[in-house]
A and B are shown apart, each in its own frame.
Chain A
């Protein structure tokens, strides 16, 4: 931390009204607009472009992008644009909700580990390390096969296997905050553990929690997509981008490049928008930390 502060000595970090917030970072607005655009495409798009994502038109097979079929048709002759619109819905919903639940779980576990210390900390840290050391796909696929594969199953498994990321960050921050004077002061006034956690430590963690939640969304979306690509996870017939890419690999020799390129591009835009928002959050957090130290 001290190294990063040195260059700032010459140019005092603006505070108060001029403190850089996330709202005046162009990268945040770029990510935000991309995300809103994608959410609009997936959830409002089907209302404006009411073509069926399921209807099979044998005559459309092999049709590339054209004015009547903007993104072409897939290997069964289904409207690719309609499928891409619907295909993002489950991915976004499952990715975002499971990431938020995982962040919440990780926050609680990280706070408990960092503040209670002792045996609780050791057990929780060990569990965190164990879960972090397994490739997430392994429990994901295993449980998905054991239970019935569905979006809900996927949501639970991803949430339950992703919390260590947030837990580790929050624990590290809680360990640091625990030693600060105002927490000691609160403790000496007789505040309970829960009160210290919620009123004194948690408020200073929000930036960490936000940064880790964007990272969680990115990794949750990726792991759900990878599972769906492998044929587990989000089940057909409801389309999803990863499943569409998997289907397109089956008849690559036919040369329908659009069935592989467009779902992938949509996915990359989703990841980019989340990354941009995360970068902006991290940048703001960094400046704020530098200003307060």
Chain B
């Protein structure tokens, strides 16, 4: 287990390193000549060269990359950004995953129990439609209906949790609903397919033959096996979910990583944008790490190597 975790963390660090190279390359391409941009038009080449030397821009590109990485990781900016901006984003993402899993489990089990009935088809149509609805539109519609037309839910900001669980919960209702509904379609469909497949296995037939009730059959036999593909698809959905989270943070004025990204890009604050991009990548990388660990917890046969 420890060795597996270490290897996964090493892979995650490798992925983050790759992402940093990518971001650095992008910024490097863009900043044709920062010195010229800072000093303006009427300036001698000597002064540009001087400022370039001062800022370390005359050094070889790999050295610049290392210096830039040191600045991005060491000056505490990343830590500051993470402690302030990470919690709202992770809260929204985590709650979204949780609610979506609950919804997917309920939808899929109902579908399997009433297979090929009208209810099955109706749920299928609803899930299909939900997966076609973009999160930013659903979020805007919810605000329009439940915050503007009938003001019963708060539309903006999420207060810190310890300021009162009730208000915090009320603020999270709309964003979390939107986020979970935007992913529940494919999740429920995967879960349903694997429940169906598990239902035809020999051990299920045996269990059914010895008289195990349908509910217990699902609970003790098929459900855990069907969770594995669901965990895989949750891990794979995280980056897409974060796309939606970025839009939702803007709609619901949640001061997390998404808002920081948009604000920094609009103001051309590339240092902040870099740090926030890294933090967003960190969230997905850590999220898929969690998915891998959960995979092993659900299936004891999996050997961590």
Contacts and interface: CB of A to CB of B under 8 A. Distances in A.
A215 to B, nearest CB: 10
Nearest to B278: A138
Contact of A141 (B23, B244, B262, B284): B262
A141 B144 contact: no
Contact of B246 (A6, A130, A133, A137): A137
Given A3-B201, A141-B261, A230-B250, A129 B132 contact: no
**What are the 7 tightest A-B residue pairs by CB atom distance, in nearest-first order?**
A271-B132, A135-B242, A264-B137, A146-B30, A130-B18, A272-B132, A135-B239
Contacts of A135: 239-240, 242-243, 246, 280-281, 284
Contacts of B137: 245, 260, 264, 267-268
21 contacts: A126-B14, A130-B18, A133-B284, A133-B285, A134-B239, A134-B284, A142-B277, A146-B29, A147-B30, A226-B243, A229-B134, A229-B136, A230-B262, A252-B144, A260-B140, A260-B144, A268-B129, A268-B133, A271-B132, A271-B134, A279-B128
A129 B15 contact: yes
Interface in A98-148: 126-127, 129-130, 132-139, 141-143, 145-147
B243 A136 contact: yes
B141 interface: yes
A1 B69 CA distance: 47
Contacts of B26: 139, 142-143, 146
Contacts of A126: 14-15, 18
A165 to B, nearest CB: 10
Nearest to A279: B128
Interface string B31-66: 000000000000000000000000000000000000
B251 interface: yes
B243 A130 contact: no
Contacts of A249: 140, 143-144, 251
Contact of B197 (A4, A143, A264): A4
A255 B285 contact: no
Contacts of A127: 18
Nearest to B17: A130
Contacts of A219: 240
B58 to A, nearest CB: 22
Interface of A: 3-4, 6-7, 126-127, 129-130, 132-139, 141-143, 145-147, 219, 222-223, 225-226, 229-232, 242, 245-246, 248-249, 252-253, 255, 257, 260-261, 264, 267-268, 271-272, 275, 279
B136 to A, nearest CB: 5
A262 B198 CA distance: 42
Q: What DSSP secondary structure best describes chain A's contact surface?
A: helix
Contacts, number: 139
B111 interface: no
B132 A138 contact: no
A232 to B, nearest CB: 7
A142 B23 contact: yes
A127 B18 CA distance: 8
Interface of B: 14-15, 18-19, 22-23, 26-27, 29-30, 128-129, 131-137, 140-141, 143-144, 148-149, 197-198, 200-201, 236, 239-240, 242-244, 246-247, 250-251, 261-262, 265-266, 268, 273, 277, 280-281, 284-285, 288
Given A146-B29, A252-B144, A264-B141, A133 B133 contact: no
Given A135-B243, A139-B22, A248 B200 contact: no
Given A3-B201, A130-B15, A260-B140, A138 B280 contact: yes
B281 A255 contact: no
A268 B132 contact: yes
A238 B155 CA distance: 30
Contacts of A3: 197-198, 200-201
Nearest to B281: A134
Contacts of B201: 3
Contacts of B243: 135-137, 222-223, 226
Given A264-B141, A271-B131, 14 more contacts: A6-B200, A126-B15, A133-B239, A133-B281, A134-B277, A134-B284, A135-B246, A146-B27, A223-B243, A231-B262, A246-B136, A249-B140, A268-B133, A275-B131
A49 to B, nearest CB: 24
B66 to A, nearest CB: 19
Contacts of B30: 146-147
A264 B143 CA distance: 14
A275 B128 contact: yes
A274 to B, nearest CB: 8
Contacts of A230: 246-247, 250, 262
A231 to B, nearest CB: 8
A255 B128 contact: no
